[in-house]
Amino acid sequence: MTANPQIRIFLEAYRPLLELSRGTDSSSAVRAASSPHLNRLEAESIHIIREAVSEARNPVMLFSIGKDSCVMLHLARKAFHPSPPPFPLLHVDTRWKFQEMYQFRDLVARDSGMTLLVHVNPEAIAKDINPFDHGSALHTDITKTEGLKQALDHHRFDLVFGGARRDEEKSRAKERVFSFRTATHQWDPKRQRPELWNLYNTRTNPGESIRVFPLSNWTEFDIWHYIHQERIPVVPLYFAKPRPVVARADMIMLVDDERCRMLPGEDIEIRTVRFRSLGCYPLTGAIESGAKTIEDILVELANSRQSERQGRKIDTDGNSSMEKKKQEGYF
């Protein structure tokens, strides 16, 4: 595909500013009382994380900068306290994340004292793979799935933590907590290991690996409730504020950097929006919302009629697309 000459490139789009005070309501600075439901989820996740690390040769945690990653990292810090988590963080960078996400990523890595590994698929750089010219499916495949596989092979990680939850998508609901992958990173839904009690089979042969999902039993609401309870910092893009956007029929796109392209006749307007889920900015739709704090988000979620991933273009590339991506090695 070549760039459409009709498309106008907008150069001075958006200046990100990381304001981490956002979202925490100053009037409720006291730690909220913990709920029995969240306590149970927390203990279960810590058990999973400790079990995985104890039996892995070379573990790593995928850190994709979203709210789930932040909760997962927080749980890992709890699991090994007072030691720091004994593994590095890995960010598979598509080069098309929101600017605030990059700033936030580096801040979190610094604060955690953990090593942050960043991998970009060199092929994506060489061929300048991007969502505008190549579409969401190819872009995701090259920058995320292939990039992830390259990074795992390069570092020979045998166990990878991911923040996926079973409530996100139908094929995720069928995923094990410890998900076995072949030496070529494939997931075979028909050959999953039976998983009984909280007893996990961590055994692999050389080259094979296991993806571990400590947040399997959490819901989107649980994640926000826990972020509220634990005061976990998250990317400010989750909170509503006036932002420069282009409103299209299928999504509201944030004009995040100078690479952003608009179609003929489109204009940038300022709308008060936030994000429910974060990915590559041209593929992640904003929602119009007035939710400025975590409390607002919780209320909005409780009344929402839309699922979390409705703004994600990569989920709608075709029926069973997540399942197919997973079989190919996607998280």
Partner 1 sequence: MRQAKKAAPAICRAPTSTIASAGDLLALQAGQDTLRFITCGSVDDGKSTLIGRLLWESQQIFDDQLLALEADSKRHGTQGKDLDLALLIDGLAAEREQGITIDVAYRFFSSPKRRFIVADSPGHEQYTRNMITAASTADVAVILVDARLGILTQTQRHANLVSLMGISHAVLAINKMDLVSFDPDVFSAIRSDFDKLASRLQLEHTATIPISALRGDNILERSEHTAWYDGPTLMGYLETVAPSSSESERFVFPVQWVNRPHPDFRGLSGTVANGRVAQGDTVRITASGHTARVDKIVTYDGDRHAAGEAEAITLVLDRDVDASRGDIITAADAPLEVTDQFEATVIWMHEDPGLIGRNYELKLATQWATASITSIKHRVDVNTGAHESCRQLAMNDIALCNLALSRPVAFDSYRASRTMGGFILIDRYSRATVAAGLISHNLRRAQNVHRQSLTITRKDRERQNGHNGKVIWFTGLSGAGKSTLANALEQELHAQGKRTYILDGDNIRQGLNKDLGFTERDRVENIRRVAEVAKLMMDAGLIVMTAFISPFRAEREMACQLIGKDNFIEVYVGTTLEICEQRDTKGLYKKARAGLLPNMTGIGSPYEAPEQPDITIDTGTTPLPDAVRTLIERINDTP
- Of the candidates 6, 81, 68, the one whose C-alpha atom is nearest the C-alpha of residue 41 is 68
Do residues 60 and 90 make contact, with C-beta atoms less than 8 angstroms apart? yes
Tell which one of 16, 18, 77, 112 touches partner 1 (CB under 8 A): 77
Cβ proximity to partner 1, 150 vs 307, nearer residue: 307
Chain residues 167-226 in contact with partner 1, contact rule CB under 8 A: 167, 169-174, 189-190, 192-199, 201, 203-205, 208, 216-217, 219, 225
- Of the candidates 16, 118, 21, 19, the one whose C-alpha atom is nearest the C-alpha of residue 64 is 118
* Interface segment toward partner 1; rule CB under 8 A; list 72-80, 115-123, 134-142, 265-273: 72-80
Cβ proximity to partner 1, 2 vs 319, nearer residue: 319
Could you please report the per-residue DSSP string of 104-116? HHHHHHHHHT--E
For tokens 């990878």, the residue is: 160
Do residues 160 and 212 make contact, with C-beta atoms less than 8 angstroms apart? yes
Q: Which residues contact 66 (CB under 8 A, 6 or more apart)?
A: 163, 235, 277, 278
54 contributes a contact to partner 1 by CB under 8 A: yes
299 contributes a contact to partner 1 by CB under 8 A: yes
Cβ proximity to partner 1, 153 vs 295, nearer residue: 295
* Interface segment toward partner 1; rule CB under 8 A; list 3-11, 30-38, 104-112, 269-277: 30-38
Sign of CA dihedral 254, 230, 164, 119: positive
Q: Applying CB under 8 A, which residues contact partner 1? A: 32-33, 35-40, 42-44, 46-47, 50-51, 53-54, 77-84, 166-167, 169-174, 189-190, 192-199, 201, 203-205, 208, 216-217, 219, 225, 228, 295-296, 298-299, 302-307, 310, 319-320, 323
